[in-house]
Chain A
Amino acid sequence: MEPSISESRRDQTDLMLTKDLSVANLDFQRFRIEPDRLTQGKHAHYLAIVEAMLNVYRNGIGLRRRDLHRRVQNLFTDIPDCPPRRIEAFCKLLDDQSVYDDSWRKKAPALRKEVFGKAAPHHPLVQTADSLFESTVSHIQQRISSELGKPWHEIEDQLYADVIEFHRLKEFPGYPDGRALLSRYNVAQVQVALFSALSLQLRVSGNFKQILRAIRLARLMHTINRVRDSIFDIRIDGPASVLRETRRYGVQMARFLPALVASTGWSLEAQIAVSGRLRMTLELRDTDGLRSHVAPETEFDSSIEQEFSNKWGTEPREGWTLFRESEFLFAGQKTFVPDFVFLHQTGVRIYFEIVGFWTPEYLDARKKTLFTFADYPIMLAVHHLAESQFSDVCKSHRVISYKTTLTVKPVIEALNSFLNAS
């Protein structure tokens, strides 16, 4: 999968801080970069401040952006230990979840054109008239005001109403509570540090499919290596990374982070280009307590998988134990994570993939993958309507067909026949 910095419109969960709002501690002893992190222990006093910030916005409908930011800044006046950027970053996060009135986007430029056009013949507008220059500011203002049929102070107020700082707050969907805003801040600071990342190194011990899907969604490249049994290292970078150190994929890595944080069983090490030739390492793991603002991906690809998993249960049946998505299969540089792995008490391992009835393209892609992994013991459950298309797969893989639900019995039978054949 080749990456690209997508220009499509992003939804709210994809909003990030900008680089000038990054706050991080640089540890020159260990060459570690530690993005700003507000914790309940060290920064207990922040909980009250973020609640107050939310209230500034909740009670600030109709106010200008600039005034909202000033009010937020004022909350921090006497707070020790607060970088100005931290305040600005909070303002950005609050703005991200705000709806501002931008109805002046077209009206204000039109008004300007009209007002300046009317004033131009009288240039220069002077404070006090004399024999040479008789157009005073107040006189021209009055004239324009009566021509446009509204008082001058109104015109003055509207003339630059399209400027971002002067936008007025219309709605504030906001954050559920102060803690949610703090969590978002902490993740956002890691994200903005990753903007300068050269590469990411992940160690993964679960949730493979979920993490791999997020990597692909962020259009990054990856290389997977097995460390031992079901622990894998994934190196994440982009096409040009083999040619030279480049930060160009950092934004995509940052975009990938919330999905990673939402899953479990991982640790991360990122090489960050701090400045010039200075490189530092950013370390993070699932147990660090970051909370993602995106929901974890649904555990299962389809309800059929979930149903089947529930039916089977956690206990072994006839010597077979069921594990979910716990392994990468390799064929050259291609990888495949089957839905389930069956482990028999004798040590025999059978992979199990459930193929739903989807589009012809999906089925074709699935088939292609299965041909690539023909050497692995993979068993398939195929929806009966798609079965005919999978007839050629039968040569290399065992195929079971199902109608509405997948029951346990035919699966056990198929597993046992596998066992007897080997």
Chain B
Amino acid sequence: MNHIQADAPNVELTFVSGTLVIRGVSGACLDAWFPSDIWVYDSRIEAFRCDACHYVSVIRELQSRRVMFTNMIGAFRDVPWRADEKTQLRPEQVDAVEAWVNAGQRGCIVMPTGTGKTEVALTIMRYTRTSTLVVAPVRDLMYQWHRRILQSLGYDAGIVGDNVFRVAPVSVTTYDSACIHMQKFGDKFGLIVFDECHHLPGQLRRDAALMSVAPYRLGLTATPERSDGRHLDLPQLIGPFVYDLPITKVRGRTLAEYDVVRVPVHLSDDEQQKYDRYSEQIRDYMQIQRENNPDYTWEDVCAESTSSPESRKALVAWLAKRSIEDRAEEKLRVLEDLFRLHSGERCIVFAGSNAMARDVSMRFLIPCLLNHCAKKERIDILDGFAAGRYPAIVANQVLDEGVDVPAAKIAIVIGGMASSRQARQRLGRILRRSGNARATLYEIVCSGTNEELRSRKRRRHETFDGTIHQRKSKGSD
């Protein structure tokens, strides 16, 4: 089919709203040249369109057929990095970079938290020297990337997100902003870095990959799997999985050895009374419902809460139970004991809710890292923690993924949901090597409550092998 030529001399390729538009070529030509059927005729503009992510293959195809065409998509900006100090990479990081380069500069790298994914990405950025967009899951990670790029590459990157819209040849953004704005600047970046790339395959978020022309793509994650199976789309959106470093391989080497200690606490009499009253209320309600309908389940309660005040009350009772577990007073006492025990060591506390995080902050007068924290405060808290100005900090889910917490050796989980990824990421926070000290993760859970069940579920993951059960916490009972 090589003989087929463009029917008009003016073949033109443009980037329009996150898509490529080609003019001056007939449908028959496109069919012959692109067997993968990527082009679709758009009658609204009387031209053919395809997703912007096909840019490289489109260019290659046109060039290999010696088609003369005007490429309205400009060349990507070269980025000469100011700083040239080289970070000393560990062998597995070197392997990861090489694997990515050898795969044609497209692909996903799987490395556990704390093994230096960021350095791998920065090395790749230094290597490609092209305009780059880094996409992070949340805004504090976005700011963290901004700082890391400034520190090690000496570049003040643009920011898109958190009500800022400042695009520069190297920019950082969040998935949500990227998927909205990619239709505007998807033709500007030669390299896209998707941090925690298991977030990318969401139905809308994937537009961040589809609407970009970037020939070079890098995905980074510790946990590629998604429960919906969409991680199978990652090779298409980013590139093949080129490197995988299992956590078991680095345990005790790159990562410190760690212990998991479970501290059961009991509800106070007052709390227990309330807890039992709510439990009873729910039980009674379920019993009455089951007399009429033996198959009645908790899902039905949720469904019926829209129409029946009674089931709504049951739902409220359940939420109140959760709140008692979450904010049990005893937890604050155990926390004091652990702070005493580890006085002089940096402690980070993970709360199950913003309210509990603020409770802890108010009780111990320690900084609290929440979603609403502005950039300035966030940086003050994290820097202060790193410098030892703040011996302890408390956070809610904000720190779940990838946020660099400077070498904390003690983490204390006092609540949270039962997802294994969340627990794994949290554990990652304290796994950073510093000296020979072993890290410890404490889990404070209310015994005899649903929270205990959730904790068991949480520990089912391989990372939690070897949990030490502490029967009684010091000072309790």
Using a CB–CB cutoff of 8 Å, the interface residues on chain A facing chain B are: 2-5, 7, 23, 77-86, 109, 112-113, 115-117, 119-120, 123-127, 132-133, 137, 140-141, 144, 156, 159-160, 162-164, 221-223, 238-240, 242-244, 246-248, 332-333
Contacts and interface: CB of A to CB of B under 8 A. Distances in A.
B127 to A, nearest CB: 32
B445 to A, nearest CB: 21
A123 B179 CA distance: 44
Given A132-B343, A160-B358, A244-B51, 5 more contacts: A109-B376, A116-B367, A123-B366, A223-B43, A239-B42
A124 B376 contact: no
A290 B180 CA distance: 30
A155 to B, nearest CB: 10
Contact of B392 (A123, A141, A162, A333): A123
Nearest to A128: B336
B364 A123 contact: yes
B44 A221 contact: yes
Binding site of A, secondary structure by majority: helix, strand, loop or mixed?
A: loop
A247 B203 CA distance: 8
Given A113-B377, A124-B392, A162-B372, A137 B363 contact: yes
A176 to B, nearest CB: 29
A112 B377 contact: yes
B263 to A, nearest CB: 16
A159 B365 CA distance: 10
Given A240-B18, A246-B207, A109 B336 contact: no
Contacts of B46: 332-333
B364 A124 contact: yes
A333 B42 CA distance: 11
Contact of B44 (A116, A156, A223, A248): A223
B17 A127 contact: no
B372 A116 contact: no
B188 interface: no
A113 B368 CA distance: 10
B308 interface: yes
Contacts of A115: 365
B183 to A, nearest CB: 6
B397 to A, nearest CB: 16
A150 to B, nearest CB: 16
B44 A140 contact: no
B244 interface: no
Nearest to B316: A84
A242 B367 contact: no
Scoring B41, B354, B362 by chain A CB atoms within 10 A of each residue's CB, the highest score goes to: B362
A319 B390 CA distance: 88
Given A119-B366, A124-B392, A132-B340, A333 B44 contact: yes
A159 to B, nearest CB: 7
A247 B44 CA distance: 19
B75 interface: no
A80 B49 contact: no
A124 to B, nearest CB: 4
Interface residues of B, number: 59
A78 B309 contact: yes
A239 B392 contact: no
Nearest to B358: A160
A44 to B, nearest CB: 17
B220 to A, nearest CB: 25
Interface string B362-394: 111111101011101100100010000111100
A375 B333 CA distance: 85
A63 B340 CA distance: 39
A273 to B, nearest CB: 8
B184 interface: yes
A348 to B, nearest CB: 32
Interface string B51-82: 10000000000000000000000000000000
22 contacts: A3-B17, A82-B312, A84-B305, A109-B373, A112-B377, A113-B380, A120-B366, A123-B343, A123-B392, A124-B391, A127-B333, A133-B340, A137-B363, A160-B358, A163-B354, A223-B43, A240-B183, A242-B41, A243-B40, A244-B51, A247-B204, A248-B179
Query: Which are the 6 A-B pairs with shortest beta-carbon distances?
Result: A83-B306, A124-B339, A119-B365, A239-B17, A123-B391, A109-B377
B45 interface: yes
A304 B26 CA distance: 48
Contacts of A239: 16-19, 42, 49, 183
Contacts of B377: 109, 112-113
Contacts of A127: 333, 336
B165 A156 contact: no
B50 interface: yes
A79 B365 contact: no
Given A115-B365, A239-B19, A243-B19, A123 B389 contact: no
A273 B341 CA distance: 54
B65 to A, nearest CB: 23
* Residue in B50, B315, B340 whose Cβ sees the most chain A Cβ within 10 Å: B340
Given A109-B374, A132-B340, A240-B211, A333 B45 contact: yes
Nearest to A162: B372
Q: With a 10 A CB-CB cut-off, give which of B17, B41, B165, B380 has the most chain A CB atoms.
A: B17
A140 B365 contact: yes
Contacts of A2: 16-17
Given A80-B309, A82-B306, A240 B19 contact: yes
B49 A117 contact: no
B87 interface: no
B171 to A, nearest CB: 15
A127 B337 CA distance: 10
A126 B339 CA distance: 9
